[in-house]
Every structure is written in structure tokens, then in C-alpha cells.
Structure 1
Amino acid sequence: MIFCLMRSLLRRLLGSSKDELKLSNRVDKLEAQLLLLEQHHVRGFWFTQDRIDDRSLSTRRYACLICGHEDERSGFEILRSECIFNGGKLERYKCPKCDCIFGTQKFLDLDDRMVDLEYELLYSRYRENETGHLEDRSFRSLRPTSGAVYINWGAGAWNDTTQKLRAEGFDVWSYEPSAPTTAPFVIKSTDEISVGLAGIFSNNVIEHFRNPVEQFRKFHSLLVEGGKMAHSSPCYEYAYPFTRFHTVFLLGRSPEVLAALSGFRIVDRIKDGEYINVVFEKV
């Protein structure tokens, strides 16, 4: 965006097309160098972290993000992959008690501000595929009513689901703390969210939670009695493991365990190819 504005300004200042082309080429080169520097920094950061982890992984104890089961590394099934966003090695653990797969631990160990920076940097360049039809489908699974308030959790900046639903008369808001967006009806901080929500829905978000039980308890506090949530994601199976940003995969018994620990019950489950949606009700 900055480079586009620079080009536009320089076109006005320069009368010669030859000078304009020369400067445009320089801007392109600077942009390419900036991208290269960014990739070098991210790759170098995680390469260093991997070398540190190589010395400590075998002696650490790990706790499941869902049920809290704790054991040494050898007590979990280990699953390995590589991050496509220059995040190095990914090592995750399958819990023998609830079937959840969690990790990578090096990403879970980051403090909140560093995690925010990771997402801000990612979304400064990366744009996910348009998935508004899936968000819409998850919203409809709540059996919404007019006059009630709903939040599209982690709405991103690439879908216009919220705007379309509002045009239908539904009181829907987006919550998006990381992806830059100028869309209306977007909440950037949880401090702006009032209690009394009728429902919360998301698509491709639940797998990013670093503390799912705590997050679900927060949802519980925001919803009215009997309020519902619909969280759809292919990561109720071990799908798309090649990114460090996916920290939890709710396989097997883990959705029911998560619901029980946070004051919910599961009232519906839909699977249609990669579209998997679980509906939770506050109890």
C-alpha cells in the first residue's frame, strides 16, 4: 500500500516517462528487498528457536491444551511437519486422554504481544481464500433470530459475511483483532464486547486458540443463557498442520471434553467434506 501511494505521488512530480520508469523500478527493487529481509528475519528467528528446542524438548513436560493431561514428551504421540510461513520445524503432541493434538510448543511459549506481532506481520502480506459462504453456513446453524446480537469471531478482512447478514436484518458484528480492515461494524478489542450475546460463530478460527478452555469460558460469560456457538473448521481432523499458527486440533473426544470444562454441551455436529461444524450451547 505504501509503495502504491509513493508511485502515485511520484507520477505527479515527474514529467518524464523515462524518469518515472526508472523510479518505479527502484521502488520495485526496494519492495523485493524488504520482503527478502522480512523472510530472512522470520526464518532466522525460528531457526534459532529450533536450535534451542533441540536441547530442551526431550527433558520438558507437556500439558494438553484441552484436558490438562500432563506427561513427559515420550508419553505423547509425536507428529512432525514444517511451517510454510518460514516457521521452521513443527512438533505436535496427541493427548492419550482426550485425543486432542496440540502444539507446536515453541509458538505456545510466545507472550501475547509477540503472538500479536506474528499475526500482524502475516496478515500484512497474506490473504486467506474467500470463505464467506462457510461463515454464512455456520451462522445459519445457530438458527438465528432478528433482534438478537451475534458476533462473527475472527472475521478476517477478506469476507463480507457480516455486511451481507446485516443487510438481511440480523444484528451481526465482526471481531477481528489482527487482520487490517476498514469494514464497518468491526470490533478490534474484546473490551468493546458487551455481555448478552445470543450467539457466536466462526470459520477456520478455533484451531488458532492457544488456551481453548479459557477462551470458551470467556465465550460463556458473553452469551445469554441458552446462547449458542458454531465453530467450523477442518481441524476437527488433523488437517492443515503445516502452519505454526494452528495450535490445537480437536480430534476424537476433545470437543466434548472442552464443552464440559467450559459450561457448554454439544447440540449439533455437521460434516460435509472439509466443512466440519460443531454447535455448542451454554448450560
Structure 2
Amino acid sequence: MKEHISCILCGNNASPFGRVRERDFYECQTCRAVIMDPDYYVDRDDEVYRYETHDNDVNDPRYQNFVSPLVDAVKKEYESGKTGLDYGSGTGPVAAKLLRDAGYEVTTYDPYFERNPGAFLTNYDFIISSEVVEHFHHPAKEFRLLRELLKPGGHLYCMTLRYEDEIDFESWHYAQDETHVIFYRKETAEWIKEAFNFSGLEFEERLFILEK
């Protein structure tokens, strides 16, 4: 392993942390993110192939149940009719479907499966991102963009598994996925809140929720 690498989130030095399936990971002592060495990123075609193998049927009750914490969090905060963006909607935008069925206006965007430049021409009451932020190769750029797309007081709902010290990283199933390049601790979400000038932060189940 290298002595250190630059953190892909905050740019500071990240120190050796672990090795999973012959891929090196580092921990940033500033933002506390755990990141994969970019030398091990899979290429675009392999990444798309991996996503296409996901069985994301929007009508599958199990998949709907999986994203229910995200959908429920939006419903708790916003009345129907509000506008949202599903950022990284993937091959089966089930959260967007469930919210649309409940009367919300949801735009979808995905860099691989739904390149929709018009999605960036307006601002939203809320943005949802389900199992996406752990794939960010340039997370600082992504979080800055997402904040800009929110209306004042809007919320960004990030659904991802957070890393905690009691987890055995080398055997953690989340780290086995070669397309997962960054893992967030609670402290990482707190760093994001301060660094990108969000006004609030909450944690719910698999979510961290940032308020503009």
C-alpha cells in the first residue's frame, strides 16, 4: 500500500486502512471517510455492467420495501405536489415511482441510464439519492452540485450504509462491491454539512439527511 493518498472528498491525506478483494482502502483523518485507492476503480463499461445486473424491478414489493425509509422520510417532511429529483435513479427508479404515485413531481437523472441535462435547469424542494453516494468518484463536486439544485430549506436524502468502528471492514459485504469507492461515517456527514454550508443534518436508519 502507499504511505498515503489524497482523500477524494476533502483533499487531505488519507492513511492505509484495509485491503478487500485485492483493493486498497484508506481512511481520511480529516473527514473520516474510508476511500478506495482510485487506481482500483473499475472502468466505465464494467461499472455499467455491474449496475445492469441489479434486479431493480419498480413493481417488486421487496425493492419497494428496501427504499421505504427514503420514501417515508420525504412524505414526513413534504406534502404531495412538491418537486423532487431522483439523482442516480439507475435502471429501476422505484423511489421516484412510489413518490409519483403519492402525488409528488419527481424528475429522474442518472449519468449512465438517464442522462437528462434538463434536470439541472431547475431547483427542487427535495433530492433523493438511493444507494448512490458510495459510488461517487468526485464526491465534493457531487455534493456541491446537489446543494445548488435545492431550494432554500430543501433537503437532500442520502441512503447508504454508514461505516462504524465495530464493523469488520475486510468482511463487510458493502466493501465487497468493487463499485463502492467511498464509505461515510457519521463524522463524514457532519464534515459535509459544514464544508458545503448545509444548515442541518439528521440521521434516520440508513439515511443521512442534509438541509440547505
Query: 118, 129, 135: which one pairs with 2:67?
Result: 135
Provide the rounded CA distance (Å) in 2 between the counterparts of 1:69 and 1:195. 33
Structure 1: how far apart are the matches of 2:17 and 2:69? 34
> What are the Cα deviations for residues 132-162 of structure 1, in whole angstroms up to 9, with x where unaligned?
3343421332312233210122222245332
Which has more radius of gyration?
Answer: 1
Provide the residue aligned with 1:100 in structure 2. Answer: 33
Secondary structure of 1:253's counterpart equals: helix
> How much does 1:236 deviate?
4.0
Equivalent-residue separation in structure 1 for 2:107 and 2:40 (angstroms): 29
| Equivalent in the alignment of 1:233 | 160
What's the % identity of the aligned pairs? Answer: 21
Give the whole-Å Cα distance in 2 for the aligned partners of 1:101 and 1:260: 18
Task: List gaps (5 residues or longer) in structure 1.
Answer: 1-56, 83-88, 180-186
Structure 1 partner of 2:87: 153
Counterpart CA distance in 2 for 1:104 and 1:243 is 14
Higher relative contact order (CA 8 A, sep 6+): 2
Q: Hey, which of these two has a bigger chunk of helix by percent?
A: 1
**Normalized against structure 1, the TM-score is what?**
0.62
Structure 2 CA distance, aligned partners of 1:259 and 1:91? 27
In 2 relative to 1, CA 146–58 (structure 1 residues): closer, same or farther, beyond 3 Å? Answer: closer
Task: Find the residue that maps to 2:175 and give its secondary structure.
Answer: coil
State the AA in 1 paired with 2:38. Q
Query: Structure 2: any 5+ residue segments left out of the alignment?
Result: 57-61
Distance 1:152 1:136 in 2: 14
The within-5 A match list for 1:1-283 is: 58=2, 61-70=4-13, 76-82=15-21, 89-107=22-40, 114-115=43-44, 117-124=45-52, 126-128=53-55, 131-142=63-74, 143-158=77-92, 160-179=94-113, 187-237=114-164, 239=172, 240-271=174-205, 276-282=206-212
Kept after mapping to 2: 8 A contact 1:98/1:252: no
Q: Considering only aligned residues, what root-mean-square deviation do their CA atoms show, in Å?
A: 2.4
